[in-house]
Amino acid sequence: MSDRPEIKPATGRLGILLPGFGAVATTVVAGVEAARRGLAKPIGSLTQLNTIRLGKRTDDRTPLIKDFVSLSELEDLVFGTWDPIPDDGYESALNAGVLERHHLDPMEDFLRSVKPMPAVFDKEYVRRLDGPNVKKGENKFDLARQLREDIRRFKEENGCERLVMVWCGSTEIFLRTGAVHATLEAFEQGMRDNDPAIAPSMLYAYAAIMEGVPYANGAPNLSADIPALEEAAIERGVPLAGKDFKTGQTMMKTILAPGFKARMLGVEGWFSTNILGNRDGAVLDDPESFKTKEESKLSVLEHILQPEKYPDLYKDLYHKVRINYYPPRGDNKEGWDNIDIVGWMGYKMQIKVDFLCRDSILAAPIILDLALFLDLAKRSGQSGIQEWLSFYFKSPQTPAGLYPEHDLFIQHKKLKNTLRWLGGEEPLTHLGLEYYEGE
Ligand SMILES: NC(=O)c1ccc[n+]([C@@H]2O[C@H](COP(=O)([O-])OP(=O)(O)OC[C@H]3O[C@@H](n4cnc5c(N)ncnc54)[C@H](O)[C@@H]3O)[C@@H](O)[C@H]2O)c1
């Protein structure tokens, strides 16, 4: 990396725009407000809780990340959303069933004040959903224009200095990158022609990028992961990150698999199944939306274990992922993993992981961190894909020709070393004795 960039200060209000105001989005909004009122701690958030080791082990310098690089304060955050379902933050959070009434009720007024703007929504791309709070437009270009107007209006009405956008909408059907995604020109023509390969999430990403707003994608659908938008982001100095928040089962996978590999243990099979009963589960019950999610979940092990480099250990790995919609569980998903590992002389062992998980509780701090770090990236003059934020994603977006890094520990090191670089400190290499350990 080159010389340390100048970082503009994080003064004024930061608007966090969330397309999709369901379980994860309401959980982050409510959690930020609860933290502001001193009612709950922002557990899981690196920007709020984590320290960073600077210099030598003997230097005894470990400030909080937020005291080391300039980040917006929680008090300065304002939330805006879009959703085809017109429920305000209180109703939507109640319906999502993630947070309990005793947490929501004291903040009812605040949550009710966050109301979704009419969405760009098309049932073709999310088949198990419908809602009345939807924009009408001549074509997709016109719809994107309306989103750009929303962005400008929101910024002005809320007195925001800066904005970021994090896609928290449903998983769209599986689409492949094609000619219409190749250049900005082709993409803009495609919007005018209502090309079916342009999904609503791409219109939000386009609108954000054209307005100079950093964009992160919390779902596995392509969205900004197309050459036209990546180029547009670089040209306009807009940071991007994606895709698919790394929570639950995949988080566990990217913790465990690097451990097996570090110990040169074989893995013969990894069977992952989930039962979940929230709206996301209902959407993923549609095979086309599931296919998008499946691609995102499957790539993880192959990249971590590198069967081509270690055929004795991983060449026969059988990896299966299932998601089953099971309404009684609501947002409290159960993720089972059966892992068949192989040790010395080929002896087999089994590991069972039964994670009684709360997906949105794991996703909320990711959204907060992404919003604050993307804003930091923008203030530091960074643009295009921010690979140092791969830590937060199941399917990290990478520049063309590069493979994604999935190992949570490598991702973590990259994130912290990038922060050190931004803050004008040496990266931690663990080489000299004095640099050893203690991140
Ligand atoms: N919960 C998690 O831990 C987690 C983890 C990884 C990824 N994700 C992804 O994050 C997304 C949100 O998850 P969730 O649990 O909040 O789901 P959810 O179903 O509760 O909320 C999604 C919301 O998006 C809205 N929506 C759909 N299309 C839209 C559009 N075009 N514009 C605006 N809003 C739109 C829906 O009406 C819904 O209210 C999903 O794509 C999910 O796969 C969630």
For residues 67 and 117, state if they share a domain.
yes
Structure token digits, residue 354: 């039964």
For residues 122 and 225, state if they share a domain.
yes
How far, in Å, CA of 29 to CA of 33, rounded? 6
Structural domain count, the chain: 2
For residues 170 and 55, state if they share a domain.
yes
For residues 405 and 317, state if they share a domain.
no
Q: Flag whether 5 is in a domain.
A: no
For residues 414 and 292, state if they share a domain.
no
- Using the mean position of ligand 1's atoms as its centre, give its distance from the Cα of residue 273 in Å: 20
Q: Flag whether 8 is in a domain.
A: no
Structure token digits, residue 250: 């995949």
For residue 277 and ligand 1, the question of a CB distance below 6 A is answered with no
For residue 305 and ligand 1, the question of a CB distance below 6 A is answered with no
Give the CATH number for residue 367: 3.40.50.720
For residues 261 and 282, state if they share a domain.
yes
For residues 227 and 105, state if they share a domain.
yes
For residues 48 and 180, state if they share a domain.
yes
For residues 239 and 335, state if they share a domain.
no
Instruction: Calculate ∠ Cα 151-27-49, nearest 5°.
Output: 95
Cβ atoms within 10 Å, residue 165: 28
The pLDDT of residue 176:
93
- Using the mean position of ligand 1's atoms as its centre, give its distance from the Cα of residue 358 in Å: 15
- Using the mean position of ligand 1's atoms as its centre, give its distance from the Cα of residue 315 in Å: 35
- Does the model's pTM come out above 0.85? yes
Longest dimension (CA), the chain: 67
CB-based burial label for 299 (10 Å; 0-12, 13-18, 19+)? middle
Cβ atoms within 10 Å, residue 40: 15
Packing angle between helix 408-422 and helix 248-262, nearest 10 degrees? 100
Domain span holding position 228: 13-245+360-422
- Using the mean position of ligand 1's atoms as its centre, give its distance from the Cα of residue 362 in Å: 14
What is the number of the ligand 1 atom nearest to the C-alpha of 282?
Answer: 19
Q: What is 229-257 written as a DSSP string? A: HHHHHHHHT-EEEESSB--HHHHHHHHHH
Q: Flag whether 438 is in a domain.
A: no
- Using the mean position of ligand 1's atoms as its centre, give its distance from the Cα of residue 81 in Å: 12
For residues 153 and 269, state if they share a domain.
no
Q: Flag whether 199 is in a domain.
A: yes
Q: Flag whether 434 is in a domain.
A: no
Q: Flag whether 4 is in a domain.
A: no
How many whole angstroms from its chain centre is CA 19? Answer: 13
For residue 20 and ligand 1, the question of a CB distance below 6 A is answered with yes
Pick the residue whose CA is nearest to atom 18 on ligand 1: 22
Beta-strand runs (E) in 326-383? 334-342, 348-356
Give the CATH number for residue 302: 3.30.360.10
pLDDT along the chain (439 residues), means of 10: 82 98 98 98 98 90 97 98 98 96 97 98 92 97 98 98 98 94 98 98 98 97 96 98 94 95 97 87 81 79 94 95 88 92 98 94 98 98 97 94 92 96 88 54
